[in-house]
């Protein structure tokens, strides 16, 4: 049974068999509306509540400049199909002319008007290059669609990564604050013991040095936490001062199926960068056919009608009507080697596209295997880090007891405290890395979708808010 790595409480979905495709027109309308609703909602809600992951994602869809540029590029490439189709359709041209003439002779002066108009209809009958161009335009459109879908998935990951980086920076700051406070309390206790002669001055100096070091860590973590919020401005065009945190009961599970080859095979079929590269190869093949068509004859059907009226040249002037229908045949004989050169160029471009496809394919396989292995490592790491917190706490308690009875020194206590707070931060960081690797694996496989953001948001929405720090001057 294939299961999603992120699961909603009500149902389960496949992480491998759910490729993410989209309807561009529906997407543009829907996301524009969602972005407007989210903008208005957050505008009124920010003073009193924190933004969650889903709200930030909805805003990013409508405001991220990178995605907007990708959308414009996709829509531009989609026009190539209409342009190629136009090359096979009739072309109608209407023209006309009018002139005011004056003729002066020895006998008299004559003024008259000349008027004419014509309509020409041209219908390609045999244009092999234009037919192949139409077929190529379908590959170009498919390539652009795959690239745009890949950009949509990239946005999902970028939003989640930026959000999780803020949470990680907050946990680092919280751990540094806890360590500094603990060292400060330890320094006060050591100072009291020194004042009554129970410990040497070296213990006081060691505790003071540890406190100064922990203060520096707090300052650095404070600055990093403040800066981490700036990425949301780039994504949404708005500043945020508070977001919601990740729930402690977020599940950490091994990816299903537990079969690396199944993930690799799914990636080879569904990865959108690979799909785009495959379509680029197909497009390059069509380009060779287009270039070779330069040696082929062309046939066009043309219908022509013209009228001309002249007021001069005779007593009553003149009038002429012309109707013509013809079939034009053009056979290329010599073009200076242009067609052969274009064919060779297209062959090199095909080789380039094929090499790029091979590189993309190997990269997808490599990244899929690496991320699958990393995700399994992440699960084991999170469980180990959780146990490490309990072990570090027990070690600190034992070291503190040993210091009180004289079997341990103050350095041992300070190191034990550092290990505890480091273990707490490493546990939180391991959870965030697990989420990032999960999303990256789903992106490589081609199944990453907004539903993954909303499923993850179930473990964020309603949690404790994290406020953006204002660095203090020391």
Q: What DSSP assignment string belongs to 228-240?
A: HTHHHHHHHSS--
Query: HSE on the CB side for 108, CA within 13 Å?
Result: 2
Closest CA to 300 of 128, 448, 77: 128
Does residue 51 lie within any of the structural domains? Answer: yes
Task: Provide the number of structural domains found in the chain.
Answer: 2
Quick one: 434 and 340 in the same domain?
Answer: yes
Helices in 260-332 by DSSP H: which ranges? 260-270, 272-292
Quick one: 345 and 432 in the same domain?
Answer: yes
Boundary residue ending a domain (331, 355, 388): 331
The C-alpha atoms of residue 360 and residue 447 are separated, in whole angstroms, by 18
Quick one: 228 and 264 in the same domain?
Answer: yes
Does residue 314 lie within any of the structural domains? Answer: yes
Quick one: 51 and 100 in the same domain?
Answer: no
Quick one: 283 and 314 in the same domain?
Answer: no
Paired sense of beta strands 465-467 and 298-310, if any: unpaired
Does residue 228 lie within any of the structural domains? Answer: yes
The C-alpha atoms of residue 128 and residue 290 are separated, in whole angstroms, by 8
- For residue 314, give the H/E element and its range: none
Does residue 440 lie within any of the structural domains? Answer: yes
Does residue 16 lie within any of the structural domains? Answer: no
Quick one: 319 and 445 in the same domain?
Answer: no
Quick one: 98 and 161 in the same domain?
Answer: no
Does residue 1 lie within any of the structural domains? Answer: no
Quick one: 304 and 366 in the same domain?
Answer: no
What is the span of the domain harbouring residue 370?
A: 24-88+127-295+334-467
Quick one: 110 and 153 in the same domain?
Answer: no
In this prediction the pTM is: 0.84
Quick one: 382 and 421 in the same domain?
Answer: yes
- At 357 the three-state DSSP class reads helix
Does residue 323 lie within any of the structural domains? Answer: yes
Q: What per-residue confidence (pLDDT) applies to 317? A: 61
Quick one: 113 and 229 in the same domain?
Answer: no
Quick one: 275 and 396 in the same domain?
Answer: yes
Cβ–Cβ < 8 Å for 6, 459: no
Q: What per-residue confidence (pLDDT) applies to 17? A: 59
Does residue 15 lie within any of the structural domains? Answer: no
Closest CA to 448 of 459, 461, 435, 458: 435
- Please give the chain's pLDDT, 474 residues, in tens: 334 445 544 444 455 655 555 554 444 455 545 554 444 444 444 444 789 999 999 999 999 999 999 999 999 999 999 999 999 999 999 999 988 877 777 677 777 788 999 999 999 999 999 999 999 999 999 999 999 999 999 999 999 999 999 999 999 999 999 889 888 888 888 898 888 888 889 989 988 998 999 999 999 999 999 999 999 999 999 999 999 999 999 999 999 999 999 999 999 999 999 999 999 999 999 999 999 999 999 999 999 999 988 875 554 567 889 999 999 999 999 989 999 999 999 999 999 999 999 999 999 999 999 999 999 999 999 999 999 999 999 999 999 899 888 888 877 888 888 889 889 999 999 999 999 999 999 999 999 999 999 999 999 977 678 999 987 645
CATH code at 78? Answer: 1.20.1600.10
């Amino acid at each position: 049974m294939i299961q999603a790595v992120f699961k909603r409480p009500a149902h389960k979905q496949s992480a491998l068999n759910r490729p993410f495709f989209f309807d561009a027109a529906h997407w543009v309308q829907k996301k524009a509306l969602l972005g407007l609703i989210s903008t208005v909602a957050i505008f009124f809600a920010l003073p009193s509540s924190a933004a969650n992951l889903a709200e930030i994602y909805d805003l990013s869809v409508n405001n991220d400049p990178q995605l907007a540029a990708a959308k414009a590029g996709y829509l531009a490439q989609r026009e190539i199909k209409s342009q190629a189709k136009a090359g096979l359709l009739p072309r109608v041209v209407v023209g006309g002319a009018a002139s005011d003439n004056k003729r002066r002779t020895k006998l008299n002066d004559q003024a008259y008007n000349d008027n004419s108009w014509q309509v020409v209809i041209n219908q390609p009958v045999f244009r092999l290059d234009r037919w192949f161009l139409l077929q190529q335009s379908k590959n170009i459109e498919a390539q652009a669609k795959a690239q745009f879908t890949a950009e949509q998935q990239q946005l999902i990951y970028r939003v989640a990564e930026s959000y999780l980086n803020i949470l990680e920076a907050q946990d680092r700051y919280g751990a540094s604050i806890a360590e500094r406070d603990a060292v400060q309390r330890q320094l006060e206790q050591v100072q009291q013991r020194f004042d009554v002669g129970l410990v040497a001055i070296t213990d006081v100096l060691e505790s003071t040095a540890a406190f100064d070091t922990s203060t520096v860590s707090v300052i650095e973590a404070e600055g990093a936490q403040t800066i981490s919020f700036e990425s949301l401005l780039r994504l949404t065009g708005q500043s945020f001062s508070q977001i919601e945190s990740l729930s402690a009961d977020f599940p950490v599970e091994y990816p299903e199926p537990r079969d690396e080859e199944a993930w690799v095979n799914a990636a080879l079929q569904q990865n959108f960068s690979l799909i785009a590269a495959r379509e680029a190869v197909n497009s390059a093949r069509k380009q060779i056919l287009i270039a070779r068509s330069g040696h082929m004859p062309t046939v066009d059907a043309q219908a022509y009608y013209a009228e001309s009226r002249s007021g001069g040249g005779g007593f009553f002037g003149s009038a002429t009507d012309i109707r013509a229908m013809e079939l034009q045949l053009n056979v290329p004989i010599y073009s200076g080697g242009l067609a052969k050169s274009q064919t060779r160029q297209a062959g090199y471009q095909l080789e380039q596209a094929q090499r790029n496809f091979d590189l993309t394919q190997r990269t997808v396989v490599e990244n899929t295997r690496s991320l699958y292995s990393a995700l399994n490592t992440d699960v084991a790491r999170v469980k180990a880090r959780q146990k490490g917190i309990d072990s570090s706490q027990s070690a600190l308690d034992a070291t503190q007891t040993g210091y009180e009875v004289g079997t341990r020194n103050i350095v041992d206590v300070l190191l034990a405290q550092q290990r505890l707070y480091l273990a707490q931060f490493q546990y939180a960081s391991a959870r965030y890395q697990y989420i990032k690797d999960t999303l990256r694996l789903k992106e490589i496989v081609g199944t990453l979708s907004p539903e993954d953001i909303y499923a993850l948001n179930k473990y964020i929405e309603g949690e404790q808010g994290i406020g953006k720090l204002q660095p203090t001057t020391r």
